[in-house]
Chains A and B, each alone.
Chain A
Amino acid sequence: MEYERVLVTGASGFVGSRVVEQLTLAGHLHVRAGYHRAARAARIARLGVELVATDLLDPQSLRAALEGCDAVVHCAYGTEGAMRETRAVTVRGTATLAALARSAGVRRFVHLSSVAVWGFGARPPSIDETLPPSPGRHAYASAKAAAEDALSAEAARGLPVVVLRPTNVFGPHSRFFTVALIEALRAGGPALIGDGRTPANTVYVDNLVAAVIAALKRPEAVGETFIVSDDDGGTWRDLYEAYAAMGSPPFSIHSITEAEHRALRARRLRLSDLRADLRALARSPEAGQLIRAASERPALRRAAGRLLRGTPGGRDRVRAWGVRPSTQGPSPPAPPGPSPELAQLQLANVRFRSDKLRKALGWEPPVPFAQAMRLTEEWLRFSRLP
């Protein structure tokens, strides 16, 4: 791999950080790490790499970031603000970066897309790269698909593009497929919808980085699109069982039906309204007067403490007036179950195939599931999460 310097965009994010770590610590390349917010760059700042503030909507910052770079690994996408803003970063930002990269003579542009370009609706049970994208109206999916379209235009003008479409990326620092799942298990609420026998379509973060390195290295990758999935036959139940085993004692996995999940989400919405009303009430001057009066009467003091502790925000008020009820407050609200997006993923009986990546680039996931889970568990323990 002969590159002078590789620009990694989104370098402070989950995947981008690990790309920078791998390229740097394994001694592959000179890396320039493009980050959006300095506050989030603590992980890559450890590495002593060249750090550069970039804004995908600011061509001047992109020109500066690209200077002297002959390869790009584009991990950045819009994550902040309203839907219109995130889409602009993902789509317009990618188009701008690609155009500037072509002008700058970049010799390889590896784009981190997503299997979300096939949307979350009805799909065939087995998907490979021959199936045209059909993102539907989901904001993230349609933005990722549009970003690929923008790249195609630059590829047609001569930019050597490789598109990677990873599946559900897990491992250390993964918010969606590691931290959120372990937190759901720890909370003890519903985690799985149905029997969990649908494909989890996971890819360990380092296996994805191996695909990035192959895409940088192999000439035959140029102009191609690859699904990146460990494609190991693992199901959602397998994934949850691996996380559940990390608890001490192991966490229980609670399953609910799809109908129960829908009902739970609807109830959750109503409860959130109620909590907001109670919070406002607990913070009102009238509530303060009530508790002050109650705290002067010993018989009421304990009861008032218990009452106010039962309201969100009330616990602080109780402490402020020196009431010390000895009983515990009410249990926290029931966990809501999987998010709508996670529910859709769990319910989809779809397998994303990585045969093309294996055949064309000789990629095999270097980290098997058991090792990936062991390392993930070590990180989770370091982070005090299980």
Chain B
Amino acid sequence: MKIALVGCGAAAEAVHIPAIARIFSPGDVVLVDPDRQRALELARLLGGGEVVGSHGRVRTEAAIVAVPNDLHANVVTDLLSAGVHVLCEKPLGRTAAEASAIAAAAPLGIVLGVAHFRRFFPSLELLKELLDRRFYGRPVRFEAEEGFVYAWAHSGFMLDRERAGGGVLIDLGTHVLDELRHLFGPLELERYQDDSHGGVEADCRLQLSAGGVPGTLELSRTRTLGSRLLVECEDGLVSGSLARGAPILVADRHGTSHTLEVDKEVAGEDGGYLAAFERQLRLFLDAARSGSPPPVPASDAIAVAEFVDACYSTRAQLSQPWVFETLIGVSAV
């Protein structure tokens, strides 16, 4: 099987090229980008590969699509219609309607998978097993947060609501919401607040439930919150990271605690990032070969997109007195 990597931006370079390099020989890879120099740069990194300027020229059996969010619909539906199995970067669509339309374009026997790669962190699987097996009884509530000072090198489309579909919620939040849904069950929104003033939000807060378990979620592009999920269960606490394969802390109600850690040989030295992308790609390729469902089907991405839609349609302003309290009127000076 040959594969195309459509879109040669930051995500392609950072995660998809290393995963492809572990599975494919360069001669079986096609790099697609209208910026030929950029595609050639990635080909150099890969040690070879064919370079083409448009996804319309892709003749491979499978493709990874890592183009700006507003181009997903056209690129993915074109590829699916041409009979190419597609693994699409998240978010599948900027809205649930767009994601559904993309999913509907997949002909019978052609696989559409979505790159919710965090599902493949061994530490997340361990966390899920602890919760599923009721290690400390039934989950009662959760607190989740993730925030990093934004430093992702991108072309600027992420700053544009029309092109990106939103800010930190649709970007980082799509991963975290998918993880919460995976761990607990369907999501329901109680309250959503963000700091947008017509642009893309950089910070947001949610009150929600997942699988009936109430919780909070905070996301940020301006603050170093790290990544943390704390689950209070009937008989103890379970705490871990949602962003990478970090140790999981468990503590019972008597204060006895243990640290559970996935061996680095399994998780990988980088906290599990490359291993997760490699596993995601292998499982997607298996699905493409066998015609079985992909590891993360479009229906999961659509469910997350519906939740994101609900957030944006009911948004309230995040309270930030340092922004508003001292606005200076012209008459004041």
Contacts and interface: CB of A to CB of B under 8 A. Distances in A.
A383 B223 contact: yes
Interface stretch (B50-58, B98-106, B195-203, B282-290): B195-203
B167 A378 contact: no
Contacts of A21: 323
A46 B330 CA distance: 23
A45 B200 contact: yes
**Residue from B168, B322, B327 whose CB has the most chain A CB atoms within 10 Å:** B322
Interface in B135-154: 150-154
Contacts of B153: 37-39
Contacts of B200: 42, 45-46
A27 B325 CA distance: 14
B222 A42 contact: yes
**Residue from A1, A41, A213 whose CB has the most chain B CB atoms within 10 Å:** A41
Interface in B144-166: 150-156, 158-161
B322 A46 contact: no
A361 interface: yes
Contact of A40 (B151, B155, B195, B330): B151
A39 B150 contact: yes
A40 B150 contact: yes
A348 B86 CA distance: 64
B108 interface: no
B333 A361 contact: yes
Interface string B163-175: 0000110000000
B326 A384 contact: no
B1 interface: no
Given A48-B197, A48-B199, A384-B225, A378 B151 contact: no
B264 A46 contact: no
B321 interface: yes
A25 B327 CA distance: 7
Interface in A149-184: 171-172
Describe B's contact surface by its main secondary structure: loop
A123 interface: no
B223 to A, nearest CB: 5
B244 to A, nearest CB: 13
A45 B320 contact: no
Nearest to B325: A375
B218 to A, nearest CB: 10
A51 B159 contact: yes
Interface string A349-370: 0000000000001110011000
A363 B159 CA distance: 35
Nearest to A383: B223
Contact of B326 (A320, A367, A383): A367
Interface string A23-57: 01110100000000111111111111101010000
Describe A's contact surface by its main secondary structure: helix
Interface in B239-256: 247
Nearest to B320: A382
Interface residues of B, number: 44
Given A213-B330, A379-B322, A25 B202 contact: no
A311 to B, nearest CB: 18
A236 to B, nearest CB: 23
A22 interface: yes
Contact of A45 (B152, B202, B325): B202
Given A38-B154, A206-B326, A46 B199 contact: yes
Interface string B293-329: 0000000000000000000000000001111111111
Interface in B190-242: 195-202, 221-225
Interface string A371-383: 1000110110011
A147 interface: no
A214 interface: yes
B201 A378 contact: no
B41 interface: no
Contacts of A171: 322
A137 interface: no
Contacts of A43: 202, 222
A211 B150 CA distance: 30
Given A38-B154, A38-B159, A384-B223, A45 B167 contact: yes
Contact of A1 (B150, B155, B201, B330): B330
B318 to A, nearest CB: 9
Nearest to B153: A39
Contacts of A213: 328, 330, 333
A256 interface: no
A342 interface: no
**Residue from A28, A39, A324 whose CB has the most chain B CB atoms within 10 Å:** A39
B333 A217 contact: yes
A282 interface: no
A43 B328 CA distance: 19
Contacts of A324: 259
B327 A22 contact: yes
Closest 3 A/B residue pairs (Cβ)? A48-B198, A45-B159, A42-B221
20 contacts: A21-B323, A22-B327, A37-B153, A38-B154, A45-B167, A45-B199, A46-B199, A47-B197, A47-B199, A51-B160, A210-B333, A213-B328, A213-B333, A214-B333, A319-B264, A320-B263, A371-B325, A375-B325, A375-B326, A379-B320
Interface of B: 150-156, 158-161, 167-168, 195-202, 221-225, 247, 259, 261, 263-264, 320-330, 332-333
Interface of A: 1, 21-22, 24-26, 28, 37-49, 51, 53, 171-172, 206, 209-211, 213-214, 217-218, 319-320, 322, 324, 361-363, 366-367, 371, 375-376, 378-379, 382-384
Given A26-B328, A45-B199, A209-B328, 5 more contacts: A22-B328, A37-B153, A38-B154, A42-B150, A217-B333
